[in-house]
Chain A
Amino acid sequence: MTSLATHCTSILLILGGVATSVARGDHWRKLECEPSAALGAWSCAATACHGGGELSRRTSGGELERWRNADPHARAASTIESDAFAKILLKLGIITKISDGKAPGQRLGDLAGNPDDLSNHAQAAARLNECLQCHNPMGAPTSWTRELAPAPGVEVMSDGLAIGCESCHGPAKHWIGDHFRRDFDRQQSGFHDLKNPLVRARTCTQCHIGDGQRDMNHDMIAAGHPPLRFDMASYERALPKHWNDSRQRAGTRDYELKLWLAGQLANFDSGLSLLESRVARSKAEEPENRAKRAKAPWPEFAESNCSSCHHALRSETEAAETGIAYQPNDSPLSTKNWNCGALEALLGLERPADADRLPEIQADFRRLVDDRYLRWLEPDASLPADLPRQVQLAANYDQQLQAYACYLAVAKSRYDERHKTSGVPSPIALDELQALRTLLRPRSSSDAVTERLRYSEVLRLFESAAEKLQ
């Protein structure tokens, strides 16, 4: 099984002689998610605290309302009640039938295997539990959770929020009493310091990439789950925020770009945790493992760029036109993952070849970031001016999306900076980015030929956008 990792390219994480100038900090701290320390959203909901009122710049109030009304995460429970969710479970063999019209709470009867045949039933339940790790971490009552408690000894939350305040901010038991104090220690156990962009990004990537506890793999994608393509800067722009970041934004140079970088670092880090867990679980003997987590498939296709396999067959001429040149020993199953591609290009990082060394490699990665790149996130730091050129990866669809996310962050940063200095909002490379957006939209099922047609156009647009964003 070790040899399976050999198609990954060599490790690179070269540790230079840079002195440790930035404190190694708590931004790599394990994010607590112990459900037994969670109190539920109602604990935060007092009118004087995060309940009523309007979102304002300086005071608290209104966050929970905003969350409940506008944020898609608040409706996570409805996802797992949907037919689409049940269909995925059916295709994966976790359930054997879909009971229409059954009252919530009765669907557990659909789980594969006879409840008397514990090995099978327990495995189906364990696999369902995997879904709930992201879709219902707070254990809101749904048709799937009534009998399937998220973890032993956890009370089902009555606030109805499958993803609640504490899913991101940390379980509140230990800090609810003093987090509003001026002298509150933000490194308090269980408290996630989300003002720190890296911690914020890591909080998102726990689910949006996956980690040791959460794994959304290729089986699930094939069964209908959308692929996880995460870019924190883009996602945060799209999210109806329940917090006010204008002060931080105003005080930070290239704020958007730093968000982007923090997101990419978190993607990489989470990806390593996930890979490590996948390798370990693929080796685990099934019977012992069964009751807890399902054996992981290996090789795991979701470790690769989607388009490393999912591209139409091309004749030689077409391959040349799209720049997909033949490379000897080029294994299609590389670990060039969509979510890590930009960082690979920017920092010269590659994902590890040696599965057994993964924990060590992750420690190396974190040290490298601390030594070299953390300072890029400081409010006054400026990022390399030619960053768009460095991330100009356009050989395949994944890379095109990846580059597009980066270009957007750069464009938004440049826009904000100009606005700050001149007071006049003037967008840069807007035409190119809009055209790229149109070209890169998810393709419909009947639109399979576009990859061939649009390659040169995409390349030209990136080229032109890079010029302007320089």
Chain B
Amino acid sequence: MSRLNSLGLLLAAIFATASTAQEGAFHYIGAVKCQECHYAPGGPRARDFVLLTEARTWKNRDKHSMAVRLLVGISRTGEDGQLVIEPEKEENAVGLNMLVRLKVFTPDDMQEAIARAGEMNPELQTAQEAVRANRKKTLQAKLDNLEDPDKVTFDQIEALEKIESETEEQVKTIELAYLTPLIDKMYASPIGRGCLACHADLRETGTSPNVESVSFRKDSVPDGVSCEACHGPGEKYLDPHYKSEFRSLAPSAKIALGLNDLRHPAVRANQCYSCHIGDVQQGKFIEHSWYMAGHPPLPSIEVETFAHDMPRHWRYLKEKKIRDGRDDFVAAILGDEAHAFEIDSKFPQTKEVVVGGVVALRKSVALLADAHVKYKDAGIPDFAAFDCLACHQELRTKPVITRDESKFDPFIPGRPNIGRWSFALADLAVDLSQDAAQRKAFDAQINAWRTAMTRQPFGEPQGTATAAAGLQTLLKGMETSLASQETSLEMAAAAYDRLKQIATTELLDFHSARQTVWAMQVIATEAALPLPEDLKYPAGDNTSDVARYLQIRLPAGAKKVITDPNNLPLLLSRIGDYDPERFRELMREALK
């Protein structure tokens, strides 16, 4: 097929999609489809333009693949990262206990789950052993084939691969047998669907933002937050996207096929925050009663640091090796106005820190404005739209006024605001613009927000909505202009210096302090700026004073459970014991 023809077909497909999109038919296909290609075992192909190991990394190392399992007591804490069904274990039972308290499950459901786990866990272990053994056999056969193609034929390898995938199916079948009764119950309850909105990518179609009106596909249940949760429903782009011509499509053409434009730093951040901050319109909102029932608090999030720990399964343009297709790809994205920024692409992570910081504030103000609408009948929005620490702080006779409090909180003290950390990096972005008009406009919008939040505790609904709208317009504009600007070494250095200055002169609350340190780590590492040893992101445990004080290292990896008794209580006591003056002192020492 000639190049022109296939492009023509693609365009036809796009055109067809554009017309069907209005009727709303972006179907999810499930991670299993993606794994057919993106689960390659590495080797020479990993050096190609596309890694092809993305799904493998995600499945074995990324916590997101555990998102649903976490709710029902399955962990990857077995030997060599094997799946284990142990809902009776304390750290695994948090999700189940929570769902019992919220009446999504009955105590009997919980007991049944434990009983079923007792039966199925040994089966699951046996099945996983079989997968391992078969995988070994296949691998050996491939090696033998390399050595001597006569000894092992391709047919034999294919047969072994078939056995391997069949045993893998067996693992999934056991998991599904355990999960399905529980997931069915969750489908049936509004709270359960709320959980699944973030914890699973189970929707049939990707058009309706309203989680209550969509149906879920069940065959992907154990996959949790899988490929399409971020990349978009795959139905329309699945076939075209593996043709090499796809690379020469502009991002806007890919979007029309349902593929999210995750190369764009603002889009990427927005995708993360839709769960990690919340998005009322997408049905992603953890109510305060869920926290009371046991959901761990959502911490602040700096996108690059979190991505680093996923671990990142993608490469930025500058990291992509020059092999076939790259030039077409570069030409295509640079031809797209929204992607002109990638031409410099020297400091994509620094760019993400700054742009992501702006998006965080935009999402946080939107969350509160939307919560005001959603909880209108209750008179006040749900507490979960606010900073946990606004209320959950020990009483102190000598209050410490932090920077974010005096710059961004309501003018009357003692009134809750949205997460203070969400202002920290947005304010940095304004500083970096070095534009007095930008600073003035930002401060004016922030003052409008503060005024609306001062008019009554939790914010006056109409005023908050107006201020949120104004802020969102301004922040959106900032995102676009920051994304399209070249992120130079000077800008990275300026950002690093400004953060250093803030950390050593201002008083920051716990989460803003974390944002600041994370941002410093990403920027200094990428731009090769001198970063003191004590401030480096720890490879293992939190060993330096600053790292320990902020519990800076995330409980990363699919094998770690957030609710681990060694993690969550420690983090919570770090938050409770945190003293802004002590942090400033530690930073002064570290940066001496």
Judge whether B397 and A445 touch: CB under 8 Å: yes
Query: Counting CB contacts under 8 A, is A218 at the interface?
Result: yes
Q: Which of A292-347 contact B (CB under 8 A)?
A: 297-301, 306, 309-318, 326, 328-330, 332
Contact of A310 among B394, B400, B568, B572 (CB under 8 A): B394
Chain A CB within 10 A, most for which of B101, B292, B394, B577:
B394
With A326-B101, A332-B383 as given contacts, are A313 and B575 in contact (CB-CB < 8 Å)? yes
Chain B CB within 10 A, most for which of A4, A306, A313, A318:
A313
Judge whether A448 and B103 touch: CB under 8 Å: no
Judge whether A326 and B577 touch: CB under 8 Å: no
Contacts of A442 in B (CB 8 A): 395, 397
Contacts of B575 in A (CB 8 A): 312-313
List 4 additional A-B contacts (Cβ < 8 Å) besides A299-B379, A452-B573: A300-B457, A317-B565, A448-B394, A448-B577
Query: Counting CB contacts under 8 A, is B3 at the interface?
Result: no
Contacts of A306 in B (CB 8 A): 395
Judge whether A311 and B101 touch: CB under 8 Å: no
Interface size class of B (residues with CB under 8 A): 35 or more
Contact of B413 among A1, A223, A328, A445 (CB under 8 A): A223
Contacts of A4 in B (CB 8 A): 379-380
Main secondary structure of the interface of A (DSSP, over half): loop
Judge whether B414 and A218 touch: CB under 8 Å: yes
Main secondary structure of the interface of B (DSSP, over half): loop
**Interface-side segment among B117-125, B276-284, B341-349, B385-393:** B385-393
With A297-B457, A313-B297, A326-B292 as given contacts, are A224 and B399 in contact (CB-CB < 8 Å)? yes
Judge whether B391 and A310 touch: CB under 8 Å: yes
Contacts of A298 in B (CB 8 A): 456-457
With A298-B457, A326-B294, A445-B579 as given contacts, are A315 and B395 in contact (CB-CB < 8 Å)? no
Judge whether B414 and A445 touch: CB under 8 Å: no
In Å, the complex CA distance between A449 and B578 comes to 10
**Chain B proximity mask over A1-42: 1 for CB below 8 Å, otherwise 0:** 101101000000000000000000000000000000000000
Query: Counting CB contacts under 8 A, is B378 at the interface?
Result: yes
B104 to chain A, nearest CB (A): 12
**Chain A proximity mask over B259-291: 1 for CB below 8 Å, otherwise 0:** 000000000000000000000000000001100
Contacts of A222 in B (CB 8 A): 399, 412-415
Query: Counting CB contacts under 8 A, is B187 at the interface?
Result: no
Judge whether A314 and B379 touch: CB under 8 Å: no
Chain A CB within 10 A, most for which of B102, B103, B396, B579:
B396
Pick 30 A–B contacts, CB within 8 A, sort by A.
A3-B377, A4-B379, A6-B379, A93-B411, A219-B413, A222-B414, A222-B415, A223-B412, A297-B415, A298-B457, A299-B379, A310-B391, A310-B392, A310-B393, A313-B392, A314-B572, A316-B94, A318-B572, A326-B292, A328-B101, A328-B102, A332-B292, A443-B394, A443-B396, A444-B396, A445-B400, A448-B576, A449-B577, A451-B394, A452-B576
Contacts of B377 in A (CB 8 A): 3
Judge whether A299 and B97 touch: CB under 8 Å: no
In Å, the complex CA distance between A329 and B377 comes to 16
**Which B residues fall within an 8 A CB radius of A?**
90, 94, 97, 101-103, 288-289, 292-294, 296-297, 377-380, 383, 388, 391-400, 411-415, 456-458, 563, 565, 568-569, 572-573, 575-577, 579
In Å, the complex CA distance between A318 and B392 comes to 15
Judge whether A93 and B412 touch: CB under 8 Å: yes
Contacts of A223 in B (CB 8 A): 412-414
Query: Counting CB contacts under 8 A, is A91 at the interface?
Result: yes
Query: Counting CB contacts under 8 A, is A92 at the interface?
Result: yes
With A221-B414, A332-B288 as given contacts, are A313 and B576 in contact (CB-CB < 8 Å)? yes
B522 to chain A, nearest CB (A): 27
B287 to chain A, nearest CB (A): 12
Query: Counting CB contacts under 8 A, is A446 at the interface?
Result: yes
Contacts of B412 in A (CB 8 A): 91-93, 219, 222-223, 297
A3 to chain B, nearest CB (A): 5
In Å, the complex CA distance between A292 and B397 comes to 32
With A443-B395, A448-B577 as given contacts, are A318 and B569 in contact (CB-CB < 8 Å)? yes
Quick one: closest A residue to B102, CB to CB? Answer: A328
Contacts of A297 in B (CB 8 A): 412, 415, 456-457
B378 to chain A, nearest CB (A): 7
In Å, the complex CA distance between A33 and B413 comes to 31
In Å, the complex CA distance between A442 and B288 comes to 28
Judge whether B414 and A219 touch: CB under 8 Å: yes
In Å, the complex CA distance between A348 and B579 comes to 41
In Å, the complex CA distance between A221 and B391 comes to 13
Contacts of B458 in A (CB 8 A): 299
Contacts of B400 in A (CB 8 A): 445
Contacts of A3 in B (CB 8 A): 377-379
Contact of B568 among A6, A315, A326, A330 (CB under 8 A): A315
In Å, the complex CA distance between A330 and B289 comes to 8
Quick one: closest B residue to A310, CB to CB? Answer: B395
In Å, the complex CA distance between A382 and B513 comes to 58
Contact of A326 among B90, B293, B296, B572 (CB under 8 A): B293
- The 5 A-B residue pairs with the shortest CB-CB distance, nearest first, are A222-B414, A312-B576, A309-B391, A222-B413, A448-B394
Judge whether B572 and A315 touch: CB under 8 Å: yes
In Å, the complex CA distance between A298 and B172 comes to 53
B70 to chain A, nearest CB (A): 14
Contact of A312 among B288, B293, B394, B415 (CB under 8 A): B394
Contacts of A446 in B (CB 8 A): 579
**Chain B proximity mask over A198-238: 1 for CB below 8 Å, otherwise 0:** 00000000000000000000110111100100000000000
Judge whether B569 and A309 touch: CB under 8 Å: no
In Å, the complex CA distance between A222 and B412 comes to 8
In Å, the complex CA distance between A204 and B255 comes to 70
B121 to chain A, nearest CB (A): 23
In Å, the complex CA distance between A309 and B413 comes to 16
B461 to chain A, nearest CB (A): 12
Contacts of A443 in B (CB 8 A): 394-396
Contacts of B414 in A (CB 8 A): 218-219, 221-223, 301
A324 to chain B, nearest CB (A): 9
**Chain B proximity mask over A55-91: 1 for CB below 8 Å, otherwise 0:** 0000000000000000000000000000000000001
Quick one: closest B residue to A295, CB to CB? Answer: B456
Judge whether A299 and B380 touch: CB under 8 Å: yes
In Å, the complex CA distance between A309 and B394 comes to 9
In Å, the complex CA distance between A442 and B397 comes to 8
Judge whether A315 and B569 touch: CB under 8 Å: yes
Judge whether B396 and A445 touch: CB under 8 Å: yes
B560 to chain A, nearest CB (A): 16
Contact of A449 among B90, B103, B576 (CB under 8 A): B576
Contacts of B101 in A (CB 8 A): 326, 328
Judge whether B90 and A317 touch: CB under 8 Å: yes
In Å, the complex CA distance between A1 and B400 comes to 33
In Å, the complex CA distance between A312 and B571 comes to 11
